[in-house]
Amino acid sequence: MLLNACAGTVAVPHPVLQTAQELGLLHRARLTADAVDQDRIDSARARSVRVIDRWVATWMPVSYGTASLNTETVGMVIDRVAEFSVTAYATLTGDASDDEVQYAWRRLAELSVAYGDLAFDITAQRRRLPDLVAPQPDRDRRRRG
Q: For 22-58, how does the pLDDT look when each residue is reduced to its tens digit (9 = 90+)?
A: 999 999 999 999 999 999 999 999 999 999 999 999 9
Is residue 74 within 8 Å of residue 118, measured between CB atoms? Answer: yes
Domain ranges in the chain? 2-135
pTM of the full structure: 0.90
Task: Say if residue 144's pLDDT is above 50.
Answer: no
| Residues whose CB falls within 8 Å of the CB of residue 142, separated by 6 or more in sequence, listed in order | none
Query: Is residue 58 helix, strand or coil?
Result: helix
| Residues whose CB falls within 8 Å of the CB of residue 63, separated by 6 or more in sequence, listed in order | 122, 125, 126, 127, 128, 129
